[in-house]
């Protein structure tokens, strides 16, 4: 079984690639992840922003394949 790693997306990036990377990791459309971020922002602004910034800082960029 191949282990999967969570990376920020280089190919499906709008701001930082966090939603694209989460979409790739969980095998869902990144648009759904982005909509979840919007709902989280509407529910409470600060926790969603902190979570996104933490994702940008803690999740590494997707490796470049030659």
Domain map (residue ranges) of the chain:
1-66
Q: Report which DSSP code applies to 28.
A: S
The reported pTM is: 0.81
Task: Please write the tens of the pLDDT for every residue from 23-35.
Answer: 999 999 999 999 9
Question: Which three-class secondary structure state does DSSP give residue 8?
Answer: strand
Task: Tell me if 52 sits within 8 A of 60, measured CB to CB.
Answer: no
- Helix ranges restricted to H, 6-66: 18-26, 30-43, 45-58
| Tally of CA atoms within 13 A in the half-sphere of 59 that contains its CB | 21
pLDDT confidence band for 59 (50 / 70 / 90) = very high
Task: Tell me if 61 sits within 8 A of 10, measured CB to CB.
Answer: yes
């Amino acid at each position: 079984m191949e282990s999967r790693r969570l990376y920020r997306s280089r190919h499906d990036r709008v701001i930082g690639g966090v939603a694209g990377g989460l979409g790739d990791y969980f095998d869902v459309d990144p648009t759904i992840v982005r909509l979840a971020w919007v709902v989280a922002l509407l529910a409470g602004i600060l926790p969603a922003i902190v979570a996104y910034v933490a994702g940008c800082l803690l999740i590494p960029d997707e490796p470049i394949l030659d």
